[in-house]
Amino acid sequence: MRNALLVYPGFPGSFWSFQHALKFIDRKAAMPPLPLMTVAAMLPREWKIRLIDENIEPLTDADLAWADIAFFSAMMVQKESFFTLVSRAKRAGLCVVIGGPYPTSYKPEIEERVPGMVDHFFLGECEETLPGFLEDLESGRARRIYEGPQSGTRIMTDVTRSPTPRFDLVNMQSYATMLVQWSRGCPFDCEFCDITKLFGRIPRLKSASQILAELDALYCLGWRGRVFFVDDDFIGNKKAVVPLLEAIAGWQQKRGHPFQFVTEASIDLAAYATILRLMRRAGFVGVFVGIESPNDAALTITVKGQNRKRGMSAHEHLLKSVRIIQQHGIEVSGGFIVGLDGDTEFDSHVRFIEEAGIPMAMVGLLGAIRGTNLWDRLVREGRILKDGTHSGDNTAFVLNFRTQLPREAVFEHYRAVISTLYEPTLRRYFRRCLTLIRNLGPLEVGGYGSFDTWTNLKAFIRSVMWQGFSRQGPAYFLFLARALLYRPRLFPLAVMLAANGYHFEKVTREAIAAYESTL
């Protein structure tokens, strides 16, 4: 029997962390560490397990003294916390095992930063390699590197072997959203993205029964509220998603619609009315879409063909698609990139975001990730700077390659975009929120929640206190009044959007202040 620590490093503050909005609902982090909860479900039953999420609570010396083995998973943006925690675990005499996107793509960097601190690397997915490692560990012949099965560029891990995650290992009330995953892989191959390098271009699917079992586990543990399907592209297999959505809709109806789902999908979702109707029936209220740029030239260079349509400008096609999704009662949040080759101005980004009614526009600077097609092209063109290291934080004013536009011009464009979208009074932000609320189609049962819980009521009271009596006050009260007048059923959504705006404005101010301190 072993005492195993599963440790998730901390995230820096960014648009994605929502740390300022979480204070409204007394939560400490947006989402729990799904990879480690999945690994925990694969460990021997007789092992004792502690899961430490540094975004919730610190790893203590007592935790390290209790354990004899530590598992770490990390994304690139977590790497500074990751290095610190790995070093502590090894100095405490633990066997250190690491995996996840960052170790898979940046093994040499890890060996350079924490030399001799890692005993075992898991590269790629671990459902088919972890059982062998556990046998090797007990027999004293564990290898240093375990790689997930792959045939050429095709990832071969069978996700139907993935167990129901150990949701019971976390305090659910510390998080705003729970996570499940149906598929891995994306059929597209955007130049800047590492998803296809990590998970392949052929989506691999769990069965509907696996997903319902995971929803059952969350439900039985008392979770009610948002559940995020963290698929790379939820509609990557459009034929298979239909029966899945039908099964989820039936599950929701039997239990009184306890969950509101959000996910990630490509913009061509708008072309599939049947899928959109089923998503609404199943309780999907939001989708994140990688829009990147409304300009044809940039989308062509970055191989984002799914965002373009013959006979229409990219702006027109994307705007029409966002409208269709919104009209099915699903909020669209979007990813946008500053620094793509082919983009020469960025006022078009702001115009598109405002016209489309996208309150949560996650705008970031482009980073070149090792192993991507973008990285390979920039290496060929001699444009990677120094060793090409990157923090992974795309809200920071950092570039690891030479942009087509002058570097300082890109920084100034980025500052102009985010300071316009999230200016101190949030006037323009609330205007986008109102556009969204007007565009949203009718909702299914469950919708965006209500004020029938103390948590939601407390969030509203705090919103009034923290935003209403600040420089955001005039635009804030006008927005809430109009939302209540036009769409009273969407008032809980309006309050949530207001809290998110509070977060985005603070992160914008912090990012710009950090940049200006370097000038």
In CATH terms, the superfamily for domain 177-421 is Aldolase class I (3.20.20.70)
CA 247, CA 251: separation in Å to the nearest integer? Answer: 6
Burial 129-159 (b: 16+ CB within 10 A, else e): bbeebbeebeeeebeeebebeeeeeebebeb
286 three-class SS = strand
73 three-class SS = strand
Is the confidence at residue 151, as pLDDT, over 80? no
Is the confidence at residue 449, as pLDDT, over 90? no
pLDDT for 457 equals 87
pLDDT for 447 equals 67
Categorize the per-residue pLDDT at 431 as very low, low, confident or very high, splitting at 50, 70 and 90.
very high
Q: What are the Cα distances from residue 198, in Å, to 153, 189, 222, 232?
A: 9, 12, 33, 11
In CATH terms, the superfamily for domain 3-149 is Cobalamin-binding domain (3.40.50.280)
Categorize the per-residue pLDDT at 222 as very low, low, confident or very high, splitting at 50, 70 and 90.
very high
- Strand ranges (E), 22-89: 48-53, 69-73
| Residues in a beta bridge with 287 | 263, 332
pLDDT for 452 equals 59
Q: Give the pLDDT confidence of 283-292 residue by residue, as tens digits.
A: 999 999 999 9
Is the confidence at residue 50, as pLDDT, over 80? yes
Q: What is the mean pLDDT of residues 335-346?
A: 97
Question: How many Cβ atoms sit within 10 Å of the Cβ of residue 443?
Answer: 19
Categorize the per-residue pLDDT at 417 as very low, low, confident or very high, splitting at 50, 70 and 90.
very high
SS (H, E, C) 114-131: CCCCCCEEEECCCCCCHH
pLDDT for 518 equals 92
pLDDT for 473 equals 98
Name the region of 179 (left: φ>0; alpha: ψ -120 to 50; beta: rest).
beta
pLDDT for 26 equals 94
pLDDT for 154 equals 80
pLDDT for 386 equals 85
* Single-letter amino acid, residue 72: F
pTM of the model: 0.96
Q: What is the mean pLDDT of residues 420-447?
A: 92
pLDDT for 446 equals 65
Q: What is the mean pLDDT of residues 294-308?
A: 97
Q: For the chain, what is the mean pLDDT?
A: 96
Tell me if 3-149 shares its fold with 177-421.
no
Is the confidence at residue 102, as pLDDT, over 70? yes
CA 305, CA 299: separation in Å to the nearest integer? Answer: 7
DSSP 319-386: HHHHHHHHHTT-EEEEEEEES-TT---SHHHHHHHHHHT-S-EEEEE--PPTTSHHHHHHHHTT-B-T
Least confident span in 54-58, 153-157, 407-411: 153-157
Categorize the per-residue pLDDT at 450 as very low, low, confident or very high, splitting at 50, 70 and 90.
low
Categorize the per-residue pLDDT at 451 as very low, low, confident or very high, splitting at 50, 70 and 90.
low
CA 198, CA 154: separation in Å to the nearest integer? Answer: 10
User: Between these two residues, 312 and 519, which has the higher pLDDT value?
Assistant: 312
Contact 411, 397 (CB under 8 A): yes
**Residue 227 in tokens:** 């559940």
Least confident span in 63-67, 321-325, 372-376, 458-462: 458-462
Categorize the per-residue pLDDT at 394 as very low, low, confident or very high, splitting at 50, 70 and 90.
confident
pLDDT for 104 equals 96
Map out the domains of the chain as residue ranges.
3-149, 177-421, 439-516
Supply the Cα-derived Rg of the chain in whole angstroms.
23
**CA 77 to chain CA mean position, Å:** 12
Categorize the per-residue pLDDT at 225 as very low, low, confident or very high, splitting at 50, 70 and 90.
very high
The residue with tokens 């459902």 is 127
Least confident span in 62-76, 437-451, 499-513: 437-451
Burial 291-330 (b: 16+ CB within 10 A, else e): bbbbbbebbebbebebbebeeeebbebbbebbebbbebbb
* Single-letter amino acid, residue 282: A
Using DSSP, how many helices (H) and how many strands (E) does the chain show? 20, 16
